[in-house]
Amino acid sequence: MENILNDYKAVSLEDVKVWFKAGKIKDFSSNRGGCIKYKNKQIAVFNFERRNEWYACQNACPHKMEMVLSRGMTGSADGIPKIACPMHKKTFSLVDGSNLNGEKYSIATYPVKVVEDEVFVGFLE
């Protein structure tokens, strides 16, 4: 089951090769997550309206290997936008994927851009 995490690698904005159309703004609830599929990956996309920002990360929580992060609670910790796993409340930075609980595992994050009313997520291939 842990092999699933090998599919997810964080992507920085300058490394994006493909902008995948995830949907329209109206397809994503305000201050909540939604899940898209890109190739063999499940990606959680967040319309963090309270911050006027968008984020994307792997949907797989590395704690118990469940595809649940898109259903987690968004918030902030010391000004850092975060997602809390809905199952065990492990929290991760939506900026860099770091574990905000101080544990060793992290999540992959992906750049998001909005063009007019369409939402795009950036990938390496």
Where are any strands of DSSP class E within 59-99? 60-61, 66-67, 73-77, 80-84, 91-93
- Tell me, what's the pLDDT at 74? 93
The string of pLDDT tens digits covering residues 54-87 is 999 999 999 888 999 999 999 998 999 999 999 9
pLDDT above 80 (res 1): no
Chain position carrying tokens 């920085």 = 12
pTM for the full predicted model:
0.93
The string of pLDDT tens digits covering residues 80-120 is 999 999 999 999 999 999 999 998 889 999 999 999 999 99
* Burial of residue 109, with CB atoms counted within 10 A of its CB: 0-12 exposed, 13-18 middle, 19 or more buried: buried
pLDDT above 80 (res 2): no
CA 124, CA 17: separation in Å to the nearest integer?
A: 5
Region 20-43 average pLDDT: 95
Kindly give, in sequence order, each residue whose CB lies less than 8 Å from that of residue 67, ignoring residues fewer than 6 positions away.
35, 42, 59, 60, 61
* Residue 96 phi, psi dihedral angles, 5° rounding: -125, 0
